[in-house]
């Protein structure tokens, strides 16, 4: 079967470079092979660089980021604990669901979709719930394209003795993520967004405070696969001492290693600036097309742009036309934003001026006809 070559400008996955794809095609070796274990150490070091952390427990989970969210919450929470969860999009709601399934009492703070988590509201919730154990929030909300102030939110939590769980699935590699400077405890991401590595792995990092919490549990973690105490026997063993936990996706980790090497070679500041430049080019072009953003400028993620669908335009028809006639994928709205916005991703390899121009040219050809049809 010959698959099409698409320009991936949706909410993920992003396009993958030929070098990363070639890395994944190297010969498969055993996941306990000493050569592979040496590679694991390099992956861990490069993830520390990407996350800007010194955390020893930094590694990729052999699963998509949804499992990283679950691993973070079920390891820290025990039945009866109180968790404050901020929701300003789909993924904050998913956090709350997982926390409740872990037996926690969830204090859910809701914010309008398209707006960031408000630190003053979080501060009020922390004061009203002095026995709360953790604060969970999304730094880079994939469903809305909003960036919340992770440093301020983590400072509020730490000042009150709470742990923090931070979702930056769409953030890592595309916008500043500085785990140690934030004082965050558990932060996770995905490979398929701004790292431009194929889907299937979830980088995650745990602070010493978080590890201490997990080691001090009085109940078993409800998930066998996600129990950090078991997983770390594989990821932290030195000198061939790793214990078997699961068969790691060896070739996928080859690709992650190459993607992280490319990130370091480019430099974090340069990578972040490339995403900002691509966003600015997109914003200028959308303005010429009379299209509006959902999110105010100071809260926008440069790599995930939510654009309002013009009144009367069939948003699905636009996406279908772009995909079938131009080989360009953009995303639909989720949840409360379904049918109301398009989500345009400028992530990793995709965040380049020629790709922005290709999308803008295609929209310039597609939209006039659909707008005329809407008026008629």
DSSP per residue, 27-78: PP--TT-HHHHHHHHHHHHHHHHHHT---SEEEEESS-HHHHHHHHHHHH--
Q: Which residues contact 86 (CB under 8 A, 6 or more apart)?
A: 92, 109, 111, 117, 121, 122, 135, 136, 137, 138, 148, 153
CATH 3.90.1150.10 location in the chain: 7-12+268-375
CATH 3.40.640.10 location in the chain: 18-264
Per-residue model confidence (pLDDT) at position 121? 98
Per-residue model confidence (pLDDT) at position 375? 52
- CA separation for the pair 61, 55 (Å, rounded): 15
Q: Is 187 exposed, middle or buried (0-12, 13-18, 19+ CB in 10 A)?
A: buried
- According to DSSP, residue 308 is labeled E
User: How many CB atoms lie under 10 A from the CB of residue 235?
Assistant: 21
Token digits of residue 189: 């991401």
Rounded to 10 degrees, the C-alpha dihedral 100/102/106/112 comes to: -60
Per-residue model confidence (pLDDT) at position 273? 98
Per-residue model confidence (pLDDT) at position 358? 98
Give Cα 115 distance to the centre of its chain.
17
Q: Is the dihedral of CA 279, 256, 41, 205 positive or negative?
A: positive
Q: Of 3, 22, 4, which Cα lies nearest the Cα of 198? A: 22
pTM of the model: 0.95
Per-residue model confidence (pLDDT) at position 374? 55
CATH of 7-12+268-375, one of 3.90.1150.10, 3.30.390.50, 3.60.15.10, 3.40.640.10: 3.90.1150.10
- CA separation for the pair 173, 345 (Å, rounded): 13
Per-residue model confidence (pLDDT) at position 329? 98
Q: Distance of CA 104 to CAs 78, 98, 122, 223, Å? A: 7, 9, 18, 15
Token digits of residue 274: 């490339």
Q: Does domain 18-264 sit in CATH 3.40.640.10? A: yes
- CA separation for the pair 132, 307 (Å, rounded): 37
* Angle value at C-alpha 190, between 40 and 55, nearest 5 degrees: 50
Rounded to 10 degrees, the C-alpha dihedral 193/196/201/202 comes to: -40
* Angle value at C-alpha 119, between 334 and 303, nearest 5 degrees: 40
Per-residue pLDDT tens over the stretch 237-263 = 554 456 667 888 999 999 999 999 999
- CA separation for the pair 186, 71 (Å, rounded): 10
Residues of the chain with pLDDT under 50: 239-240
Q: Of 171, 181, 104, 185, which Cα lies nearest the Cα of 138? A: 171
């Amino acid at each position: 079967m010959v698959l099409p070559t698409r320009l991936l400008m949706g909410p993920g996955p992003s396009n993958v470079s030929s070098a990363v794809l070639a890395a994944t095609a190297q010969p498969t070796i055993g996941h306990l092979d000493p050569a592979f274990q040496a590679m694991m150490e390099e992956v861990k070091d490069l993830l520390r660089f990407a996350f800007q952390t010194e955390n020893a427990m930094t590694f990729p989970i052999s699963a998509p980021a949804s499992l990283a969210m679950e691993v973070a919450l079920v390891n820290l929470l025990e039945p009866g604990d109180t968790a404050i969860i901020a929701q300003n999009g789909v993924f904050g709601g998913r956090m709350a669901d997982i926390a409740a399934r872990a037996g926690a009492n969830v204090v859910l703070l809701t914010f309008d979709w398209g707006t960031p988590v408000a630190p003053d509201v979080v501060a009020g919730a922390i004061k009203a719930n002095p026995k709360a154990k953790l604060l969970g929030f999304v730094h880079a909300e994939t469903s809305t394209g909003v960036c919340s102030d992770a440093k301020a939110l983590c400072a509020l939590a730490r000042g009150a003795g709470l742990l923090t769980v931070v979702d930056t699935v769409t953030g890592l590699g595309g916008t500043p993520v500085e785990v140690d400077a934030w004082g965050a405890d558990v932060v996770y991401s995905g490979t398929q967004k701004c790292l431009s590595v194929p889907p299937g792995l979830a980088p995650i990092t745990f602070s010493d405070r978080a590890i201490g919490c997990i080691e001090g549990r009085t109940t078993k973690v409800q998930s066998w696969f996600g129990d950090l105490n078991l997983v770390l026997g594989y990821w932290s063993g030195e000198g061939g001492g790793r214990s078997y936990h699961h068969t790691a996706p060896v070739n996928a980790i080859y690709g992650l290693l190459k993607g992280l090497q490319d990130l370091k070679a480019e430099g974090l500041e340069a990578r972040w600036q490339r995403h900002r430049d691509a966003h600015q080019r997109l914003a200028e072009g959308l303005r010429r097309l009379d299209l509006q953003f959902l999110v105010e400028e100071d809260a926008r993620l440069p790599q995930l742009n939510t654009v309002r669908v013009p009144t009367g335009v069939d948003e699905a028809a636009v996406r279908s036309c772009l995909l079938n006639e131009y080989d360009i994928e953009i995303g639909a709205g989720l949840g409360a934003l379904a049918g109301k916005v398009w989500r345009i991703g400028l992530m990793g390899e995709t965040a380049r001026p020629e790709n922005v121009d290709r999308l803008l040219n295609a929209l310039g050809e597609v939209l006039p006809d659909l707008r005329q049809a809407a008026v008629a």
